[in-house]
Structure 1
Amino acid sequence: MLVEKFDTFSGHRDCVYALEKGNSLSQFFSSGGDGLVVRWNVEKPDTGELFAKIPTSVYALAFDEKRNHLWIGQNFDGIQVLDILNKKEVGSLKISNASIFVIKLFDNQAFVGLSDGTIVVIDMELLSIRKHIKASDKSVRTIDFNPVTQEIAVGYSDFTVKIFDLTDFSLKLVVEAHTNSVFTVKYSPDYKFLLTGGRDAHLKVWNVSENYQLQQDIVAHLFAINDICFHPNLPLFATCSMDKSIKVWDSENFKLKKVIDKARHASHGTSVNKLLWLQESSLLISGSDDRNVSVWKIT
């Protein structure tokens, strides 16, 4: 496996917390502590475009491919939805005074995870609240969906992963997953496994068909695992950490294949917070506390 630093995008004035795809194979968005939402094109690295300016930190972005809408989480306020073709607001919704840590879209519904432990389910067509799911007083940090089993996996700062029914939102299972906050949950592309990571630096693999029994427990990083991201078409996934590194793994046997760090690849000098693998591409995007967005070509 070869890793080449494709480019570094600078322009953010604070930590980068969120990355999201755009409406072309080369386009993506970033946001962070400065409240800036920036649109980038990997083919034109010097022409980052200020897409929106939010008065608070932005921890969560989500792209609605069907409508070409970008959902932006505005902390202590709510959701702002912008049409990315004309950069116009198409709607907003006041939902909470809490921080918004995650927005995930599935089947015409938006799931918004808040720092007060609430998941707000929003009808994307009507931009109206359908449901409040409250299963903890601790922060909702991460959400993913399993359409095969019709389940939602949610990671909380109470150290658990909770599994909900995707149809009626009932709580099905509580997994005592980690010894500290859970920052990232991701189903494998075949939906047979759930991968989780968090502040305890362990990468854990859970077998979905066996009622989420623990399959592997890997001490993957030195400090907190902030994100897990699967390659769109190869049997690979990547993790990133507060230990400043990015690691690439084999998704069939969960073996480590490559470490991307400052010493070997001139990687980030501080915590790596978010990853995004561009569709149909070998380009992996990473966002960091060092205010930079890096692009990695992995072959």
Structure 2
Amino acid sequence: MVKIQVNKLHTLTGHNDCIYALSEGSDPRFFYTGAGDGMVVEWDLDNPKDGKLIAKLPNSVYALEVDRERNLLIIGHNFEGIHVIDLNENKEIWSLQLTNQAIFDIKIFGNEILVGTGDGILVVVGIPERAVKKHVKLSSKSIRVMSIAPEKRHLALGLSDHSIKILDLANNFEPLANLQGHTNSVFALGFSPDEKILCSGGRDAQLKFWNSGDYSLSENIVAHMFAINYLSFKEDGNYLVTCSMDKSMKVWDVENRKLLKVIDKARNAGHGTSINKVLWSTYSGQVVSISDDRTISIWQIEEKNL
């Protein structure tokens, strides 16, 4: 029997609006946040109290992604497009006007930036070319979240039309599967580190486990009171953390599909409003959470064998 112990280590402040975006750095000691105030900030897990302003944009930032190979930070700038920051130089090196829509998620695969937009289009941008290579129209509704299985070369996308679409990155974004089961927008999506499982969550508050071999549904859990906003696997794949509009985070045993711990305001001095993203750090094993309450929390989550 495993017992999960939670200790809140830090509360970080500095953003002046709801914090929406969270990404781990090329050096995972660092992470990046973006908010409704247009600010993008770098934080250091070894010295977390002092954030460093990386960019200040006129519109909200919902999406951030780090290109680890080139040490670039890709910022999704709502109603504008993307800004590319060279993190070695701490300066913007190029930008692209892509869409007049919100950008909810960005992923990097090889030499391409994959941008999911509010009008259901996947925009493929070539990094060497600094230009749009392809538009893939998937829906009339928003692409909310994406996850990549790099070995399988599969791209999973969660949409506001309640579906999860699987595309083949090895074969020109050809569709592989269209998963139906959620009854509302899909906000949370992640392949397990071994790529055997795809987990999803959404506005319907349900957490689903899909077998990535044939994308059949293996488990459905009513996991939260309100929308599941995001999820993140621990690096070893044993645990998963979800966060919700219900102001709580929950730690799950992946193999047994069991709830192990609830982290909230009453029990753990957690966030006071919706928790928008979580990141299980590959550097420290700590969990970072961001919220509408304009704060960032860093949590020590440890297992104790009983």
TM-score (norm 1): 0.97
Aligned equivalent of 2:172, options 168, 174, 179: 168
Runs of 4+ in 1 over 6 A off after TM superposition: none
Aligned equivalent of 1:203, options 201, 207, 215: 207
- Does structure 1 conserve the Cα–Cα contact (< 8 Å) formed by 2:26 and 2:69? no
SS of equivalent residue, structure 2 residue 61: coil
Range moving further from structure 2, 214-223 or 124-133: 124-133
Distance in 2 (CA, whole Å) between partners of 1:266 and 1:38 is 24
1:173-252 matches, within 5 Å, as 173-209=177-213, 211-233=214-236, 235-252=238-255
Aligned to 1:151: 154
Aligned to 1:4: 7
Query: Deviation string for 1:263-286 (max 9, x for gaps)?
Result: 110000000000112113221000
Distance in 1 (CA, whole Å) between partners of 2:71 and 2:140 is 34
1:65-214 matches, within 5 Å, as 65-166=68-169, 167-209=171-213, 211-214=214-217
Range moving further from structure 2, 71-80 or 147-156: 147-156
Query: Deviation string for 1:101-125 (max 9, x for gaps)?
Result: 0001112211100000000011122
CA displacement at 1:233 relative to structure 2 = 2.7
CA displacement at 1:234 relative to structure 2 = 5.1
1:26 partnered with 2:29:
yes
Which runs of 5 or more residues in structure 2 are unaligned?
none
Question: Number of residue pairs matched?
Answer: 298
1:285 partnered with 2:288:
yes
- Does structure 1 conserve the Cα–Cα contact (< 8 Å) formed by 2:75 and 2:82? yes
Aligned to 2:269: 266
SS of equivalent residue, structure 1 residue 178: coil
Instruction: Provide closer, same or farther for how the CA distance between residues 236 and 157 of structure 1 changes in structure 2, counting only shifts above 3 A.
Output: same
CA displacement at 1:188 relative to structure 2 = 1.1
SS of equivalent residue, structure 2 residue 62: coil
Aligned AA (1:45): P
- Does structure 2 conserve the Cα–Cα contact (< 8 Å) formed by 1:232 and 1:280? no
- Does structure 1 conserve the Cα–Cα contact (< 8 Å) formed by 2:193 and 2:237? no
Query: Deviation string for 1:63-85 (max 9, x for gaps)?
Result: 01111110001111111000112
Range moving further from structure 2, 123-132 or 6-15: 123-132
SS of equivalent residue, structure 1 residue 44: coil
Query: Deviation string for 1:188-221 (max 9, x for gaps)?
Result: 1111111110000000011121x21110000000
* Superposed CA RMSD: 1.1
TM-score (norm 2): 0.95
- Does structure 2 conserve the Cα–Cα contact (< 8 Å) formed by 1:233 and 1:280? no
Query: Deviation string for 1:213-260 (max 9, x for gaps)?
Result: 110000000000000101113511100000000001112122111111
Aligned to 2:50: 47
SS of equivalent residue, structure 2 residue 74: strand
